[in-house]
Amino acid sequence: MSASTPLDLLIEQSRKARDQAGRSLADERRGEARAAAQLDTLHQYRGEYCRRLQDAMNNGIDAASLANYQGFIRSLDDAIERARAGLADQGARVSASQHHWQQQQHRLSSYDTLATRRSQQQRQVQERQEQRHNDEQTNNTLARQRLEKHRWE
């Protein structure tokens, strides 16, 4: 198979597109992992800060410090909600990227199937030609043998 046939060029372009889609999917998944890690960190930080507030309340805390703790926890809650929304958005990007990769993979598989069929058809044509050639040689040999046999009779 020549590397410059239109189907081979389509296969090569599809392979490159599939590989690029795979890299994009990997990037999106890494982004999703970072967003999930950030959300986990915020949850841990909030839990730690709530424990500190509880300890401070057990030991006695003034109203200004209590207000500061509560304000900071509210800001952490806001950050957690933003991180959740970001993670959801990132999850949607991962899904879209995965769908795109699957489409590219399907396209490549289709072209590969066409190339395989073309190769099989070419091989069958070649095998038939070789068989015809062998049959002709056999028939010619048999005809010569008969001709020689009739000459000697």
Q: What is the pLDDT of residues 16-26, one digit of tens each?
A: 999 999 999 99
The residue written with tokens 């209590």 in the block is 66
> pLDDT tens across 9-63, in order?
999 999 999 999 999 999 999 999 999 999 999 999 999 999 999 999 999 999 9
The yes-or-no verdict on residue 7 having pLDDT over 80 is yes
The per-residue pLDDT of the chain, averaged, comes to 93
CA atoms of 9 and 48, how far apart (whole Å): 58
Nearest Cα neighbor of 37 from 97, 89, 95, 86 is 86
The predicted-structure confidence for 110-153, as pLDDT tens digits, reads as follows 999 999 999 999 999 999 999 999 989 999 998 888 888 777 76
The gap between the terminal CA atoms of the chain, to the nearest Å, is 53
* Distance between CA atoms of residues 52 and 58, nearest Å: 10
Mean pLDDT of the region 85-101: 97
Q: What is the pLDDT of residues 123-134, one digit of tens each?
A: 999 999 999 999
Q: Is the pTM of this model over 0.85?
A: no
104: exposed, middle or buried (Cβ count in 10 Å: 0-12, 13-18, 19+)? buried
Q: How many residues are there in the chain?
A: 153
Which one-letter DSSP state was computed for residue 5? S
> For position 1, what pLDDT does the model report?
44
